[in-house]
Amino acid sequence: MLTEQAALDVHYMARALELARKGLYSTHPNPRVGCVIVREGRIVGEGWHARAGEPHAEVHALRQAGELARGATAYVTLEPCSHQGRTPPCADALIEAGLTRVVAAMQDPNPEVSGRGLLRLMNAGIGVQCGVLESEARALNKGFLKRMETGLPYVRVKMAMSLDGRTAMASGESQWITGPEARSAVQRLRAQSSVVLSGADTVLADKARLTVRPDELGLDAELTALAAARAPLRVLIDGRLRGRS
C-alpha cells in the first residue's frame, strides 16, 4: 500500500507525463519532458518542452511558479540536464530557484547527463527521488532511449493487408484496405518519426508522398500545428535510382 506521500508523488508525476505528451510530435531530437512544481499541496507551476533549442520543461514551470518555487517540490519526467547545450543546465535552474525536493521519473541515459543532474541537486542539499512512474516515462521516449542506450534507431514497420493476407488486388490495382481510424493512426506515427523510409516500387505504384497530412492527424489545433511544422525526412530505397524527380 502506498504511503500518502508516495500516492501524491504518483499523482503529480502523472500530470507531468500528461504535459510531456504535448511534445510528442515536436521535440525531436530531444526527449519529451514535462514538469510540475508543487508547494504546500498546490500546483504553482507547469511546463513542457516543445522544440529543441527552446526552454526545457523545468524552465517553463519555474517561470510560471516565480517566487513560489522556493521551498517547493518539482516533478520531472526525466532527470534534469546538467550540461550546457543549446540551453543552460536545468539542474542549476532548480537549485537557484530554491526548491527543496526533486522527483524524477527516470535517469537520463544521455552520456552527458547519466546521473550527473541528480548528483548536482543532491550536492546542493536538495532531496532527490528517482523512479516514480518510470515505465510510463520510458514508453514516452522509446526512440530517444533506444538511440542513447544502444546507438541504434527505433524502427516501426507499417504494413496494411486484408484478412486473407493481401496488400492489393490480383490485378495490381491499388485500393484502400484501411479505414479512417487506421490512416489517422499511421499519420500520428509518421509525425512522431525522424524519417519515413519506403521502397521505390511502393512509392511509384501508389504515388505515395510520404508526408504528414495535418487533416488526418485527428489532433487538436495546437498539436496539429506542432506536428505540421516538423516534417520527417523522406528516404527512398532503390537500386536503380528511380523517382529522383
Give yes or no: residues 168 and 125 share one domain: no
How confident is the model at residue 18, as a pLDDT? Answer: 96
pLDDT confidence of 244, banded at 50, 70, 90?
low
Last residue of a domain, one of 105, 132, 150: 150
Q: CB-based contacts of 49: which residues, under 8 Å, 6+ apart?
A: 20, 23, 27, 30, 31, 32, 33, 34, 55, 56, 57, 60
Contact 34, 48 (CB under 8 A): yes
Number of domains in the chain: 2
Give yes or no: residues 100 and 85 share one domain: yes
Last residue of a domain, one of 100, 125, 150: 150
What is the CATH number for 242?
A: 3.40.430.10
Q: Which residues does the annotation mark as catalytic?
A: 58
Give yes or no: residues 107 and 121 share one domain: yes
Give yes or no: residues 138 and 185 share one domain: no
Mean residue pLDDT of the chain comes to 88
How confident is the model at residue 173, as a pLDDT? Answer: 65
Phi and psi, residue 117, nearest 5°? -65, -45
Structural domain for 56, as ranges: 4-150
Note the pTM of the prediction, 2 decimals: 0.85
What is the CATH number for 115?
A: 3.40.140.10
Give yes or no: residues 88 and 8 share one domain: yes
The string of pLDDT tens digits covering residues 64-121 is 999 999 999 999 999 998 877 677 789 999 999 999 999 999 999 988 888 889 999 9
- The Cα-based distances of 167 to 175, 189, 205, 208 in angstroms read 9, 20, 13, 15
